[in-house]
Amino acid sequence: MKSKEISRARRLTARVLLVVSLPIVFLGLIDPLEGGIALLISVATLSLAFLAAGYWPRKTLWVPFVLAIVVGAIALLVAIFGPGRVDNAPLMLPLIALIWLYRALVVAALVGLVMEVVRIFKASTFESNKDTE
């Protein structure tokens, strides 16, 4: 294979993986348990996409991802070991706050991912136009 064909294949692979990761990240909004698993799967998918693209994502993507996973893990620990139960609403407030913070971070990660998808599509379109000239 020629190097242009390889780079086209890598760009196409990165595009496909980035688009596939969008709904997976959206599933992360469910809650910290199921959503955390979805976020970990999307991190693996995104890692492959950025390896194929040949660059590291911006902080607007990976910082919210890391924070969402950390806050989700803390929320799970509070839910498991915390003194609050459903019948004792005042003790559940920290857990509720953590879950909403988790959701806000997932939304921030989703926005960062959309920005990265737009960026890679723009860069790929520019490079493919340059290749055809």
Which tens digit of pLDDT belongs to each residue from 8-55? Answer: 888 888 889 988 988 888 888 777 777 888 888 888 998 898 898 888
Quick one: which of 26, 123, 19 has its CA closest to 68?
A: 26
| pLDDT over 90 (residue 58) | no
| Spatial contact of 1 and 99, defined as CB atoms under 8 Å apart | no
Burial class (CB in 10 A: 0-12, 13-18, 19+), 95: middle
pLDDT digit string (tens) for 82-108?
776 666 677 788 888 999 999 999 999
